[in-house]
Amino acid sequence: MTTPIRASMLAAVLLAPPGLSAQAVTLGEALRRADAAGYGNRIAAGQAAAQAGLADAALRGVLPTIRFETGIVRSTEPLTSFGLLLRQRAVTPAAFDPARLNYPGATGNIGAAAILEQPIVDLDAWLARRAATRAAGAADASAAWAQSATRFEVVRAYYGAALARELVTALDTAAASAHAHERQAESMHRNQLVTRSDALLASVRAGEADARLVAALGQAELAGARLAVVIGEPDGQALPATSLPAAAVIRRVAALGVAVGARADVQAAELAAEAAAADARRATAALLPRLQAFGRLEWNDGDAPFAGDEAWTAGVMLSWSPFSGGAELAGRRAAAGRRLSAEAAADAVQARGRLEVREAETAVRVALAQMDIAERGVAQAAEAHRIVARKYAGGLAGVTELLDAAATETGARLAFAEARFQAVVAVAQRRHAGGADVAAIVALEEME
């Protein structure tokens, strides 16, 4: 007959995946690893960096533009040829010969220039920059919210793995108890104190206990793999260094409460609304004139770039496009629609945030109450099992009552572990919903 120890060893051999290295981590270490390598954090950080790049690109309409040009030209076209000579300051009296003017030889030029363009009045560029800056801030806030969400997932996965390990321990104990009852029933049957059905029923229950233990071992292995994925290390197993916190510790951490702060997702939505408002103003400003200064310093020579005498040109240009086939008007309508949508989205996020805070507070109260009930149930079920076991040994109770009492105790222990897990998750969720740092939940380890 398979003992609980043999069942545990067999399950460990059969269910442990090849090539995966298991390592124990504390909750604080798991949170730090997820901050750096968590998939959601890395995605959000990349999006924030991309949006910051777009904000820098919007400076093009604000900062000066400097560029250098050079090119080679060769021509026999009369006007172009004479113009090249003028550029090179190489005109001589002979150049005015009518025959040469009408039929010039091939004239070459290497032109080079340094050009400066500086916007002076470009309101839509300034507003575009403001919109892009607000959008970049929204992306940063979204990255912060993603980090908070990842930290909550780490807490849930970490203590989910701890729960799985505790369930294994409880079921291993239950299997050991079931096999003890099995041996007791067989002994009493040999001594003709009970019928053979008692031994058979006890053997069936022991087999069921072994099967549940094997399943729990498999779930524990998967829980470790899930934790590794959450912290961004999928090529191994991350095992919690601690078990589920004691009920008293959970109560103390829950009693600390949470000062509701500014949620990063709300900040992101508000900044996105501000970006949309700035973009709407930009679309209106696109109908206004633009004023730009420019300067050009150039060299023309027949043999080398940036050679010959310098020549400069400077000026100011006013441009205005009040109507370009209706594109500006269409842009204004589209920007106004985006603004309305962004403002509605910000209102929705704020309302959802307030609701999530209320839900989280309720979840904590319910989880703590259920944990209290489950804790009392463990003590009551254990005492009931002890009493029935003594009655069975004295021939005052049947095997079915004994096995039911053992199953009730096992169920109570499993329910208590699940209740503690749900209480931890509820406390972490309350911090996340309230905009507080989820990483403070490491106090559960520090208070042990």
Query: What confidence score (pLDDT) does residue 22 get?
Result: 66
Do 392 and 300 belong to one domain? no
Do 170 and 236 belong to one domain? yes
Do 52 and 70 belong to one domain? no
Residue 15 has pLDDT above 60, yes or no: no
Q: What is the CATH number of the domain that holds 293?
A: 2.20.200
pTM above 0.75, yes or no: yes
Q: Are 250 and 444 in contact (CB under 8 A)?
A: yes
Neighbours of 101 (CB within 10 A): 13
First to last CA, the chain: 39
Domain-located, residue 241 = yes
Closest residue by Cα to residue 19 from 234, 270, 329: 234
Closest residue by Cα to residue 237 from 17, 42, 445, 39: 17
Do 206 and 158 belong to one domain? yes
Phi, psi of 237 (to 5 degrees): -125, 130
Do 314 and 345 belong to one domain? no
Do 147 and 218 belong to one domain? yes
Do 94 and 134 belong to one domain? no
Domain count, the chain: 2
Domain-located, residue 164 = yes
Query: What confidence score (pLDDT) does residue 21 get?
Result: 57
Mean pLDDT of 58-70: 89
Domain-located, residue 426 = yes
Q: What is the CATH number of the domain that holds 398?
A: 1.20.1600.10
Mean pLDDT of 124-138: 92
- Least confident piece of the model among 70-84, 246-260, 415-429: 246-260
Residue 442 has pLDDT above 70, yes or no: yes
Residue 314 has pLDDT above 90, yes or no: yes
Q: Are 430 and 364 in contact (CB under 8 A)?
A: yes
Residue 3 has pLDDT above 60, yes or no: no
Residue 125 has pLDDT above 80, yes or no: yes
Which domain range does residue 100 map to? 64-121+288-319
Do 171 and 212 belong to one domain? yes
Domain-located, residue 283 = no
Choosing from 297, 319, 341, the residue where a domain stops is 319
Do 264 and 192 belong to one domain? yes
Q: Are 346 and 218 in contact (CB under 8 A)?
A: no
Q: Are 331 and 283 in contact (CB under 8 A)?
A: yes
Q: 384 CB contacts (<8 Å, ≥6 apart)? A: 405, 408, 409
Domain-located, residue 324 = no
Mean pLDDT of 428-440: 90
Do 200 and 254 belong to one domain? yes
Query: What confidence score (pLDDT) does residue 1 get?
Result: 43
Mean pLDDT of 128-132: 92
- Amino acid identity for residue 432 in this structure: H
Domain-located, residue 233 = yes
Do 312 and 179 belong to one domain? no
Domain-located, residue 209 = yes
Cα 233 to Cα 290: distance, rounded to the nearest angstrom = 53
Query: What confidence score (pLDDT) does residue 382 get?
Result: 92
Task: Encode pLDDT of 188-221 as tens digits.
Answer: 888 877 778 888 888 888 888 889 899 989 888 8
- Least confident piece of the model among 53-62, 187-196, 383-392: 187-196
Do 245 and 143 belong to one domain? yes
Domain-located, residue 192 = yes
